[in-house]
Amino acid sequence: MAAERKIPRSLQAIIDQVKEHYADDQELQTLFEQCFLNTYLTTIQEDEQGTFVVTGDIPAMWLRDSSAQVRPYLTVVKEDADMARLIKGVIERQWRYILHDPYANAFNQTANKQGHQQDRTEMSPLVWERKYELDSLCYPIQLAYLYWKATGDDSVLQPTLKQVLETIYRIWKIEQDHEAKSSYSFERDDCRVSDTLLRKGKGGYSVPTGMTWSGFRPSDDACLYGYLIPANMFAVVVSNYAVELLTAMEEIKLAEQFRELEADIRQGIGQYGKMDHPVYGEIYVYETDGNGRVNLMDDANVPSLLAIPYLGYTTADDPVYQNTRRFILSRDNPYYYEGSYAKGVGSPHTPDHYVWHISLAIQGMTAIDSKEKKQIVAMFKQTHADTYFMHEGFDVDRPEQYTRSWFAWANSMFSEFLLSEAGIYVPGSPLENMKNNKAGDRHVLSTGKAAKPNQ
């Protein structure tokens, strides 16, 4: 655990604001305070390399988790220079990791050879795990962009950012044709099948679609088919973030390359990422190989299909999203569960009948019905198992049975949901844009025309 820290006044002010919103609910007040502070008090470590963020009970820094863990603190960085410094330290450390190995998903604090060093892939002592996940390259772009929006700090518009974006662009272009162009492979011995890639580490066969391939899901489970639709949607959104960042840096050529890549991926999603369902109408599929095979499901981890408006790919009232949402929140989704204490989306990563607090938070933040939001709040109160923290998955009939007692990503997602309920949003985020553009166009955040950062 990180060294003990004092609670900054900026975070205390947010806590007081949420407590005022839930003035008649002591349980929710305590839940929010505990969860909101969890990342700051227990997972952030500073060293000569900047800010290292452990995911909780695993002593490694995931590009995805670290981004999501600190995201709620972007609500205070305009006023709190120390918090801005910490988050900028996360961003710059992520940049170093990506430049070290853009195919890795999790890293050690130093080159200490911890983690999965026996995996058959191009491991290094700095890498904890080298599962290539498309979303692991999306999250750092999102965090850098939202930090820039929240602070107006142009110092992030630097040559290292350009190098990182060049690297990500190169990888995504290669992985548009994984079979012919990619040298990446991954194999793990003596493990469950979801922890390794088939065909000697190449993964399931796929054909070019315009989309970009992913070996693993944000759950760290192997993709059944290589084109993970919600991750490609996330890539569309952050490609436009990249365009805006690069345009501000006057890097016009690379900005134009990202525009073209974004168009390719979006077209691929439109052509291969949807189907006509006999019950729900036109819906998005979870995965496809581009060769006629699709995987109909959703997973609790973000990016997910349920999270499409949260990611910023389209608005919550989009008809195809609403159809998809009805499918996801039904028993036709093999990872949707209902029980005595909760109902929602789980994951093949955890046991049957285990719903995830992350997916409940996403359901709450993407709901357009206030009654549904209140039901989600009630489920959180019923399922923290008197720990006053969120967990990975929990049994819908016995919430005291859960996985991961120290899982900071889940605590941050719950915090962001309650913040949104209290009218507090991360500046420049899709949730804030949905609030400000309730009658706006589809793909509000996919246009590359977001507002200028705060000055």
176-235 pLDDT, tens digit per residue, is 999 999 999 999 999 999 999 999 999 999 999 999 999 999 999 999 999 999 999 999
Tell me if 448 is assigned to some domain.
no
Burial of 319 (0-12, 13-18, 19+ CB in 10 A): exposed
As a whole number of angstroms, the distance between CA 184 and CA 203 comes to 10
Residue 213, domain member (yes or no): yes
Residue 60: half-sphere exposure toward Cβ, Cα within 13 Å: 22
The pLDDT value given to residue 448: 35
Domain assignment present for residue 25? The answer is yes
Total number of domains in the chain: 1
Q: Please check whether residue 9 lies inside any domain of the structure.
A: no
What stretches of 203-313 adopt beta strand conformation (E)? 227-228, 274-277, 281-284, 287-288, 294-295
Of 47, 49, 50, 40, nearest to 1 by C-alpha is: 40
pTM of the model: 0.95
- Those residues whose C-beta lies under 8 Å from the C-beta of residue 161, and which sit 6 or more positions away, are 95, 144, 245, 249
pLDDT tens for 47-105 read 999 999 999 999 999 999 999 999 999 999 999 999 999 999 999 999 999 999 999 99
Confidence of residue 241 (pLDDT cuts 50, 70, 90): very high
Question: What distances in angstroms separate CA 140 from CA 168, 286, 439, 452, one per listed residue?
Answer: 10, 23, 29, 19
For residue 430, how far is the Cα from the chain centroid? 13
Give mean pLDDT, residues 354-359.
98
pLDDT digits (tens, 9 = 90+) for 316-338: 999 999 999 999 999 999 999 99
Contact 194, 221 (CB under 8 A): yes
Tell whether 455 is covered by a domain: no
CA atoms lying within 13 Å on the CB side of residue 383: 33
Q: What are phi and psi of 295, to 5 degrees?
A: -115, 115
Q: Report whether 397 contacts 403 (CB < 8 A).
A: no
Tokens of 325: 């949402």
Looking at residues 242-250, what average pLDDT do you find?
Answer: 98
Summarize pLDDT for 140-188 with one digit per residue, the tens: 999 999 999 999 999 999 999 999 999 999 999 999 999 999 999 999 9
Q: Which residues pair with 283 in a beta bridge?
A: 275
- Neighbouring-strand partners of residue 129: 106
Query: Considering only CA atoms, which of 122, 136, 131, 103 is closest in space to residue 191?
Result: 131
Note whether residue 234 is domain-resident: yes
CB 1 within 8 A of CB 57: no
**Average pLDDT of the segment spanning 352-372:** 98
- pLDDT of residue 449 exceeding 60, the answer is no
Which structural domain range is residue 148 located in? 21-425
Q: The CATH number of the domain where 221 resides is what?
A: 1.50.10.10
Q: What is the pLDDT of residues 278-313, one digit of tens each?
A: 999 999 999 999 999 999 999 999 999 999 999 999
Residue 440 counted as domain residue: no
* pLDDT over 80 at 438, yes or no: no
Residue 40 resides in a domain: yes
Query: Which residue did the predictor score with more confidence, 442 or 400?
Result: 400
